[in-house]
A and B are shown apart, each in its own frame.
Chain A
Amino acid sequence: MEAAIKTLVTTFISTSKGKENLNKKEFQKLVSNQLGSIMEDTDSASAVEELKRGLDDNNDGKVSFAEYLTLIGYVATSLSQSKSGSSADAS
């Protein structure tokens, strides 16, 4: 579990190259490279832009680490629900 948390952090940091926020291009790269198997339309620039706008609580056009974690939490929660709903003993 600690390794998983480290991955959440390092994925953000390596995409932002150590900066505090992801700009539009970096966010699109993260979504299409890292979330393509579990989300739809990750290759669509307009869909990703829409997603970014939804996350951008402070409306600065960038995605902060906290805003990124909101997305991760949301995706993980819906993934968890779909798993426990259909195949509770799969793993």
Chain B
Amino acid sequence: MPSELEGAMESLIKVFHRYASKDGRGTLNRRELRELMENELSNFLKSQKDPAAVDKIMKDLDTNGDGQVDFEEFVSLVVGLSIACEQCYQMHMKKMAKK
């Protein structure tokens, strides 16, 4: 029986491969990345509507410069979002403490 954390990793892997396999390659091209952001991150991110922002995110993630985002590069996006989420939580707790 997988734990909650293991289930979360499993679902991140599934989401990545669902979009990455659309064009037959196991990596995300720009279009697949945008679709993933649009469908899976619509509450966390608003930048998927802005083509320039998608380009920038794509470029930032694609550290080996092959024009594709592989799973390891996708992990950076997850890490970035998790850090933002954690900072948001800490700010929220500080606000609550002041009250």
Contact = CB atoms under 8 A, between A and B. Distances in A.
Contact of A9 (B13, B26, B82, B93): B82
Interface residues of A, number: 36
Nearest to B85: A9
Interface residues of B, number: 38
Q: Looking at B4, B9, B21, B26, which has the most chain A CB atoms within 10 Å of its CB? A: B9
Nearest to B4: A7
At the interface, is chain A mostly helix, strand, loop or mixed?
Answer: helix
Contacts of B41: 1-2
Contacts of A33: 3
Contact of B82 (A8, A36, A38): A8
